[in-house]
Every structure is written in structure tokens, then in C-alpha cells.
Amino acid sequence: MDRKSSKIFRRVSLRPQASQRLADVTESLEHARGLDRVIRVLSGGARRVLRPGPVKDMLHGVPIGHPAHPPLTDLPMGAWMSAAVLDLFPGTSRAARTLVLTGIAGAVPTALTGLADWSALHREQQRVGLVHATTTATATALYTASFVARRQGRDGPGRALGFAGLGALLMGGYLGGHLAFRQAAGASHADQIAHLVPLGWHDLCDVSELPDGWPVHRRLGYISLFVLRNGDDVHVLADRCTHLAGPLHQGRVITNDEAELCVVCPWHGSTFRVEDGSVVAGPATGRQPAFESRITDDGVVQVRPLS
């Protein structure tokens, strides 16, 4: 390669791509401490309004086993993007108006579920989430104005407002993708025991090491474990909470209304049944990985993943 070609190669290879610049800007939002005052006010208000209970669990998605917010976003996004396509063709104003209204209606439960999830995230996630919510709220406002204009027979301004709303919607969707895939909001943070623990029984510790009624932390290879002795029974769960990896062994052990032993995550209050790791209360929506246990004649606690 000659000197001229080498210079050209270096100049091209060092030029940042537009997609990389966008990713850098988005990552910078994670460290935007100027948003923290607003976040404290909004998240505190959300926690006061959304008290622990069935309604809050429903908004998180506990009954369906995964967060309710992501699938609900398909309704407003799908309706508004479909309206944008129809706006490109003549004779579709009525259908486009119906789709715009459908998206507005779908935005309400979508926003409520998003608020519930956002209030129980880490601060870096909340910073990106706040901007995500602002852009999607802007999109909703623009589409609402678009619908009003269309109802008044002003289809031109209605389409223009709709396309402006689409731009805000796409930006909000990009930030939502960053939350979900780069910051893992909504994903399970528990250790993947099926991939890290071989089949069969494994020695864990002597039963004499375990205080009765008090959770402790133990390790099984790469896996951190929550271990609770209750009389002659030993309950073992993956220690990293499925919600955001909180240490369950530092949580409170309680008895629920069905007289079942449960552990409450110390970070965001997710509650799991210690017998099988099932979710009793959110914000966690995924079951905590659990282990079977037995005590040998020599007093050694053995465990294996619960099938």
C-alpha cells in the first residue's frame, strides 16, 4: 500500500459513523446528573401513588410472567406508523384518523405500565427512561393535536402533526430499545443456573453452618446462592434477584397470607416464595431460580437445580 492510500485508509477508518455518534449521545444520558432532581420528584410521587398490591403487580406484569410495558407499546406504535403510511395515499383520511385515535387510547395503559417499571429502576436507567418518556409523551401530544385537526377537517395540518409525532415516536422507541437491550431493564438478572450448574447433586455446606431462620450467602461454583434453613428444611434460591440483581440474602424473610415463607429483595421489594422461587409481589415478574436440597447422613447439605 502506498503512502497516499495509507492516509486515505486512516482518514476513513477513524471517521465515526452516525450510528456510533447516536449511541454515544444516548449513553451520555446515563450520566446526566442534571436530570436527577426531576427523577427524585417523579419517582417518589409514583411510589406514593402506586402502592404495593394487586394493581401495581398488574402494571408490572406479574400475572403474565414478564413486563407488561414492552408488548403494550406495539399498539400505539403500530397504529401511528400505520396511519403515517395511509397519509401517503389519497382517500384514506377516515382510516388514518381512526388509527390515530386508536394509538392515543393505547398510549394510556402503555404509559401507566412504563411509569410503574420506571419507578423501580436504577438511577442510570431512570435517566434514559425519563428522556424516553418525554419523547413518547411529546409524540402522544402531537398525535392528539393531529386527531383534533383531522376531526375539524384540516387534514393537511393533521398529517403534518402526525409526521412530527412519528419522529418523536421513533426517537422514543430508540431510547426504549437502549433501556431494554443495552441497560437490560425488564430482563431477568438472575444467574442462568441451567447453563452454569451441572446436572446432579452438589455438596454445598454442613447444615451446622446454617443459622435457623436467618438467610445466608453461599457459593456453588460461579453461582451465588440464597440459603435459608427452617428447622429441618433448607431452601435454596439463586441469590441475584431477577429484577435488577439485588442480593436476596440481605433481604427480609416474611410469611405471606398463605403462611408461606417468602424473601423480600432489599433493593426494590420484589417478593419470592422460598420453596420454589415463584413471584409473590413485583416489580420482578420472572421466577427466581430455585434448587432442591437434601441433607446427607453426614450432615452435608446437597443441592441440585429445581427441574
Q: What is the pLDDT, as a whole number, of residue 12?
A: 46
Residue 227 is placed in which grid cell?
Answer: 440459603
d(Cα 305, Cα 178) in Å, to the nearest integer? 32
Q: Rg for the chain (alpha carbons), in Å?
A: 25
pLDDT for the residue numbered 5: 46
Round to whole Å and give the CA distance between 177 and 172.
Answer: 9
* Integer Cα distance of 155 and 274 in angstroms: 59
Angle at 31 between CA 250 and CA 175, to 5 degrees: 95
- Residue pair 150/93 in contact by the 8 Å Cβ criterion: yes
The domain locations on the chain are 3-182, 193-305
Question: Dihedrals φ, ψ of 302, to 5°?
Answer: -115, 145
Q: Along the chain (307 residues), what's the average pLDDT of each consecutive run of 10 residues?
A: 48 58 89 96 93 94 94 97 96 96 97 96 96 97 98 96 97 96 91 78 93 94 93 94 95 90 96 95 94 93 87
Q: How far apart are CA 123 and CA 40, in angstroms?
A: 9
293: left (phi over 0), alpha (psi -120 to 50) or beta: beta
Q: Quote the pLDDT of residue 9.
A: 41
Which cell numbers in the block locate residue 273?
416464595
Q: Are 19 and 29 in contact (CB under 8 A)?
A: no
Question: DSSP character for 231?
Answer: T
Do 70 and 116 form a contact (C-beta atoms < 8 A)? no
pTM of the model: 0.84
Into which CATH architecture does domain 193-305 fall?
Answer: 3-layer Sandwich (2.102)
Residue 101 in contact with residue 7, Cβ under 8 Å?
no
Q: How far apart are CA 31 and CA 23, in angstroms?
A: 14
Q: Quote the pLDDT of residue 307.
A: 66
